[in-house]
Every structure is written in structure tokens, then in C-alpha cells.
């Protein structure tokens, strides 16, 4: 029988980044419906803009914008260009950690979780801190609102326009990159359009560009004003018209709903449920919040087959662990390297399709790293694995980046400890104070795992530190977090 606590933990893992230590008492008593209402209320407020850009870059870009209006502008020399690249990359590292801590600490769990989903859906890799900050703000502000508004805003963001070569899309010389991806990845899905639709849509998007600061600009003299035919509709379309035509297609609602179902319910699609959800999503004019409410308040969402059925993404794993065990890190940049090792570095998706997810998260290497992280956090395990070198994908966090981190306090050397953490155990251990000693292992495993403990409880106890009740709780917790079952949510 599913307990109320297990259902609530299920909801917190899907509608957020897992339960927090301070929530455990509440999760035992509140109903899932009440918990979801609380999540909605906490996420209703517009999030604050995250600004971590270096002051030097702010001055440089503002100056460059002004000089761009003048007849003559100064070109940066090689050293200045290198410094700008390095400052952009350092700022994106800060953006990564700042947003990660929002996922861990913010009460707006539903908003941040949905923004995390859109971060993968509207994947964009761009080593420009202003473009990345702007796109992050777009998805966080619109995460629970209208997919219509979100699609239009993302499509006009400097990050996406530059990533998909929109600046090269000009009258008489159309670039089809953006038109193709907006159909294949953002709205309809592959096989629901023709090559002619792409070519015609590309003509409609001609002239879309951005300023150095990241503001959208429509260069009318570069726009093809001729008649286009897209998905059976004909007119002198501009880019906004094409986006609206895509949104008119019920297939767009079906494609988005199916992807959300896979991410939040189960990777095995239930066609009947997806069709019902998609119909309501379309009728609501793409209200994301209502779609999530339909999912998270449905009785079937809490079916046993949906609990513990998903492999945690690296970000979910890292954020969830820190929500359950609040901690202070001396060497925060180690979290960037752990993201690399596990295959998901925020703001550096592998391509425009985003991270594939599911079983792709796990191989013999990443599983071993995942299972060692809890003990590395607790300073019980040395770490001697180096991430793969791929500077283009990892934004400068290759060997040279690692060398810089090694010099930092609590460094991340090849044989050093990657995380120098001080875990604040009290909020967590308090929840188990009234649990009899003989029931502790069972209570700990049911709180930390969404699946039954597969190894014998006696085996876990045998390896525990039994010198005190506190030591026992701590050691068993770290052991359970090191099990394969903890990788599931």
C-alpha cells in the first residue's frame, strides 16, 4: 500500500527537486492535493532576474553598442578578445551555480523544475553571459504560463537566434536552421511537416536578429516580403505568423504534452492519457500551469508503476541530495565538474535537441560516480576520475579550467576530494528522533528511496557506524544514497 508520505515524496521529486529535510514532517501529514496547492502558491510570484555578469563585460557591451551607432568603431585586439571570452565563461559558471542553488533552496520548486524542463527543450549553447541570462529569465518567467508566450519569447531571444544562425537568414539567401528546429524540436516533432514548409518558413523568419545587448531587432530590409505557404496556409507571413500557424496545429499540443508526460510521469507513454491531456492543453490555449495541474492532481499520477520509474538527471540527483542534506561547500566549483562527469552541465547542452535523458544518463562510468558522490560529500572517499576533455562542449572547463579550480581552496585535483562540504545534519536527523532504533533502517530507506530497499537491511546495518544513534543515522543515510535505487525517482 502506498503511504501518504511516499506519494508526497513522489510529487516533490516530479514537481520539484525532491523533498527538503525541513519538509519531512509536513509530508507525512499533508495530502498530495494540499501539497500541490502549496507548490502552486509558492511558485506564483514572478522570479527575480538573475544577473551575474561581470562589470567589465557590462561596460564593454554597452560601449560597443554605442560605438556601433557611430561610423567608426574600435576593434578588440587578440588579448582583449581572450579576456572577454574568459570573463564570459567565468560568468556562465557563476550563472550555473546561482541557478543550481535556486533549484536547491527556492520555495518556487514547481517553477524552477518546469524552467529546468524548458532549459532542455529550448536548448541553446552560447558563450555570451547576457544572452544566456536573458534566455534563462524568459524560461523562468514563462515556465508556468502560456506556451504561446514562451515560444514567441524564446524564438526572439538573442541566445536562440545566434545559436541557430538567424543572423544569416536574409532575403534571397535564407538559412533554414531556425525554421527546421522550431518545427522538429520545439513544436510539431519530426515527420509532421515537409521540407517545403521549412523552406517557406525560413523566408518568413528572414530579418530576425538581435543587438549586441541581446535585444530583438527586425531588419526589415533583410526580410522577404513575398507570399509564403506554410502547413497549407498562404500569405505574406512574417516570423510571428509562422509561430502562430504552428500553434494552431493540434500536433504541437500533442508533441509538447507527450514530452512533458515522459519527463514528469513515465517514459512509457500512455496514449489515452496523453491524448486527453493534449486536448485540454490545446483548448486552454497552451496553459502550462493547467496542464501540470491536470497531471499532478490525477489519481493515476500516483499509480505504483509511475513511482520510482525515472532515472534522476544529474542536476536532479545533485540538487535533491543537497535539499535532503543541507550543506555548505568550500569549493563550489567542484559541482561544475560533477555535472560534467555525469553528463549534464547547465547552459552547455550537447546540441539543440538537448539532453536525451532516461537510460542515456547511466553507463558503467557515470553509475560508479553517482554512487560515490554521497561519500565524497562526506569526505570519506578520494576522487581520481577526470572528466572527458571537450572544450567546445564544456565552456573552458577542460584541463586548463581544472588547473584553475585546483588552485582554489579545497581544490579538485586528480586524486583530491572534489567536494569539501559541511553537512548541516540537524534538520534531517530531527525527523527520525522518535523512530525506534530497530526501525531506523526501514524508516531511513522509505524516506530516501522511491523504490523498496533491494539489499537486505541487515547488510546495510552491518556496515553502519553504530557508535551512537546520530552516527548510525548519518552512516546509513550515506549508504542508502550510494545505492542504485537512489538513482531512481
Residue-wise pLDDT tens digits, 87-134: 999 999 999 999 999 999 999 999 999 999 999 999 999 999 999 999
Using alpha carbons only, give the angle 352, 290, 285 rounded to the nearest 5 degrees: 70
Is there a single domain that holds both residue 125 and residue 192? no
- Residue 210: enclosing H or E segment and its boundaries? strand 208-210
Residue 165 CB neighbour total at 10 angstroms: 12
Q: Which of 223, 221, 220, 241 is nearest to 231 (CA)?
A: 241
Q: Is 342 exposed, middle or buried (0-12, 13-18, 19+ CB in 10 A)?
A: buried
Is there a single domain that holds both residue 412 and residue 450? no
Is there a single domain that holds both residue 411 and residue 434? no
Is there a single domain that holds both residue 88 and residue 181? no
Is there a single domain that holds both residue 401 and residue 472? no
Residue 120 lies in a domain: yes
pLDDT, position 5: 96
Q: Which of 181, 279, 266, 170 is nearest to 224 (CA)?
A: 170
Q: Which of 378, 369, 387, 367 is nearest to 417 (CA)?
A: 378
Whole-Å CA distances, 164 to 58, 214, 291, 474: 24, 15, 29, 48
Residue 47 lies in a domain: no
Whole-Å CA distances, 410 to 27, 214, 378, 405, 426: 36, 37, 14, 9, 24
Residues 233, 88: Cα–Cα separation, whole Å = 43
CA 161, 358, 118, 212 dihedral sign is negative
Q: Which of 8, 31, 185 is nearest to 109 (CA)?
A: 8
Eight-class DSSP state of 182: I
Is there a single domain that holds both residue 404 and residue 430? no
pLDDT, position 73: 52
Is there a single domain that holds both residue 319 and residue 418? yes
Which of 197, 232, 248 is where one domain is finished? 248
Is there a single domain that holds both residue 436 and residue 459? yes
Which of 229, 248, 267 is where one domain is finished? 248
Residue 217 lies in a domain: yes
Select the more confidently predicted residue: 421 or 142. Answer: 142
Give the global pTM.
Answer: 0.93
Is there a single domain that holds both residue 323 and residue 406? yes
pLDDT, position 61: 77
Which of 423, 439, 457 is where one domain is finished? 423
Residue 280 lies in a domain: no
Q: Which of 224, 263, 56, 256 is nearest to 154 (CA)?
A: 256
For range 332-339, the mean pLDDT? 92
Is there a single domain that holds both residue 415 and residue 453? no
Please give the mean pLDDT across all residues of the chain: 90
For range 136-150, the mean pLDDT? 98
> Is the pLDDT confidence value at 152 over 80?
yes
Q: What percent of the chain has pLDDT over 70?
A: 90
Residues 35, 272: Cα–Cα separation, whole Å = 26
State how many domains the chain has: 5
Residue 458 lies in a domain: yes
Secondary structure of residue 93 in the 3-state scheme: helix
What is the domain extent for residue 349?
Answer: 314-423
Q: Per the structure block, which three cell numbers stand in for 155?
A: 524564438
Residue 304 lies in a domain: no
Count CA atoms closer than 13 A to 377's CA, side-chain side: 30
Is there a single domain that holds both residue 231 and residue 197? yes
pLDDT, position 285: 98
Residue 452 lies in a domain: yes
Is there a single domain that holds both residue 88 and residue 8? no
- Contact yes or no for 335/100 (Cβ under 8 A): yes
Residue 286 lies in a domain: no
Amino acid at each position: 500500500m502506498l503511504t501518504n508520505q511516499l506519494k508526497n515524496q513522489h510529487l516533490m521529486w516530479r514537481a520539484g527537486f525532491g523533498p527538503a529535510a525541513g519538509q519531512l514532517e509536513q509530508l507525512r501529514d499533508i495530502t498530495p492535493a494540499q501539497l500541490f496547492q502549496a507548490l502552486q502558491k509558492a511558485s506564483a510570484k514572478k522570479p527575480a532576474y538573475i544577473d551575474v555578469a561581470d562589470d567589465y563585460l557590462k561596460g564593454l557591451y554597452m560601449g560597443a553598442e554605442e560605438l556601433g551607432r557611430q561610423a567608426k568603431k574600435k576593434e578588440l585586439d587578440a588579448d582583449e578578445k581572450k579576456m572577454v571570452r574568459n570573463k564570459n565563461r567565468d560568468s556562465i559558471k557563476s550563472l550555473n551555480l546561482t541557478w543550481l542553488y535556486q533549484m536547491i533552496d527556492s520555495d518556487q520548486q514547481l517553477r524552477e523544475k518546469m524552467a529546468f524542463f524548458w532549459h532542455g527543450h529550448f536548448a541553446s549553447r552560447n558563450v555570451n553571459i547576457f544572452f544566456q541570462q536573458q534566455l534563462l529569465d524568459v524560461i523562468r518567467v514563462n515556465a508556468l504560463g502560456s506556451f504561446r508566450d514562451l515560444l514567441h519569447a524564446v524564438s526572439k531571444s538573442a541566445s536562440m537566434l545566434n545559436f541557430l544562425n538567424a543572423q544569416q537568414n536574409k532575403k534571397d539567401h535564407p538559412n533554414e536552421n531556425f525554421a527546421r528546429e522550431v518545427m522538429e524540436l520545439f513544436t510539431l516533432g519530426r515527420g509532421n511537416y515537409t521540407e517545403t514548409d521549412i523552406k517557406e518558413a525560413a523566408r518568413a523568419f528572414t530579418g530576425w536578429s538581435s543587438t549586441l545587448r541581446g535585444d530583438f531587432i527586425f531588419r526589415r530590409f533583410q526580410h522577404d516580403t513575398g507570399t509564403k505557404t506554410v502547413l497549407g496556409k498562404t500569405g505574406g507571413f512574417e516570423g510571428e505568423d509562422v509561430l502562430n500557424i504552428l500553434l494552431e496545429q493540434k500536433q504541437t499540443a500533442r508533441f509538447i504534452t507527450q514530452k512533458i508526460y515522459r519527463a514528469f510521469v513515465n517514459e512509457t507513454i500512455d496514449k489515452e492519457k496523453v491524448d486527453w491531456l493534449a486536448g485540454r492543453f490545446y483548448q486552454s490555449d497552451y496553459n502550462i500551469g493547467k496542464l501540470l495541474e491536470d497531471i499532478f492532481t490525477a489519481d493515476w499520477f500516483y499509480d505504483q508503476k509511475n513511482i520510482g520509474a525515472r532515472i534522476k538527471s544529474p542536476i536532479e540527483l545533485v540538487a535533491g541530495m543537497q535539499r535532503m542534506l543541507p550543506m555548505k561547500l568550500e569549493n563550489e566549483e567542484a559541482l561544475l565538474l560533477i555535472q560534467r562527469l555525469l553528463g549534464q552541465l547547465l547552459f552547455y547542452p550537447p546540441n539543440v535537441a538537448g539532453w536525451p535523458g532516461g537510460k542515456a544518463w547511466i553507463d558503467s562510468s557515470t553509475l560508479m560516480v553517482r554512487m560515490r558522490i554521497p561519500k565524497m560529500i562526506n569526505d570519506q572517499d578520494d576522487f581520481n576520475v577526470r572528466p572527458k576533455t571537450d572544450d567546445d562542449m564544456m565552456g573552458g572547463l577542460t584541463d586548463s579550467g581544472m588547473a584553475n579550480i585546483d588552485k582554489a581552496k579545497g581544490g579538485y585535483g586528480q586524486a583530491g576530494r572534489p567536494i569539501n562540504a559541511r553537512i548541516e545534519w540537524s534538520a534531517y536527523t530531527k525527523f527520525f528522533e522518535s523512530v525506534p532504533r530497530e526501525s531506523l533502517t526501514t524508516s531511513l530507506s522509505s524516506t530516501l528511496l522511491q523504490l523498496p530497499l533491494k539489499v537486505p537491511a541487515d547488510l546495510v546495518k552491518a556496515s553502519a557506524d553504530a557508535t551512537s544513534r546520530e552516527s548510525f543515522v548519518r552512516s546509513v543515510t550515506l549508504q542508502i544514497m550510494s545505492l542504485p535505487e537512489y538513482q531512481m525517482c
